[in-house]
Amino acid sequence: MIPREQPGPLLNGLPTNLPDTDVDETNEWLESLDGLIESGGRNRARYVMLRLNERARDQRIGVPSLVSTDYVNTIPKSKEVPYPGDPDLEQKVRHMLRWNAAIQVHRQQRPGVGVGGHIASYASAATLYEVGLMHFWRGKDHPGGGDQVFFQGHASPGMYARALLEGRLTENDLDGFRQEYSRPMGGRGLPSYPHPRRMPDFWEFP
């Protein structure tokens, strides 16, 4: 038998305060699931649970939807267009950008500065940004007009790292990351998030 003294069912990983108005009936349902697993296996039990979840949504009883779905590629491999760039070269570029972005933040932990920054935000999205910058987003001089891109604020070290490779910023500029006012040796400090007022020649949107 399933113990009666148990916390409420979990919702998004947290226990709820939903009352159990019929403990015996609840135990019967739980034991039925155990029996289904034993007789039909886990795949059969999974199928039944998915159908029950589907029916619960149809009946609008407030059961949360599944947060993930099976991955299905809607484009057959035979119809995929060739990648427009050089994957190996672009991967090397991304490695350099991730490294420079990480070191840029790491150096802001040195004595006398100690402001730090975010590393994972750009590192986790570098491929998305680089594919967009290399192959999708258009500049202001494009005949059809330029794209408007709102960059994630904490990913700014990656944008500065790219600007270093492009020659738009210098190593000295990157060494002033997050030191708009406090830079010990003076010079331009780079804001830690998109700041069009401080860098109108670089950022378009805050």
- Looking at residue 184, its pLDDT comes to 59
Assigned domain for 180 exists: no
- Looking at residue 69, its pLDDT comes to 64
For 125, the domain range is 77-174
Assigned domain for 201 exists: no
Q: Are 163 and 87 part of one and the same domain? A: yes
Assigned domain for 27 exists: yes
d(CA 130, CA 134): 6
Q: Are 29 and 90 part of one and the same domain? A: no
Q: Are 53 and 88 part of one and the same domain? A: no
Q: Kindly report the number of other CB atoms within 10 A of residue 53's CB atom.
A: 14
Assigned domain for 103 exists: yes
Tens digit of each residue's pLDDT (9 = 90 or more) over 51-78: 998 999 899 888 877 666 667 778 888 8
- Looking at residue 32, its pLDDT comes to 96
Token digits of residue 165? 């490779």
Assigned domain for 1 exists: yes
> DSSP assignment of 3-64, as one string?
-S--PPPEETTEE-----S-HHHHHHHHHHHHHHHHHHHHHHHHHHHHHHHHHHHHTT--PP
Q: Are 145 and 167 part of one and the same domain? A: yes
Q: Are 129 and 65 part of one and the same domain? A: no
Assigned domain for 143 exists: yes
Percent of the chain with pLDDT over 90: 52
Tens digit of each residue's pLDDT (9 = 90 or more) over 170-186: 998 888 888 877 775 55
Nearest to 85 by CA among 38, 127, 28, 140: 127
Our count of domains for the chain comes to 2
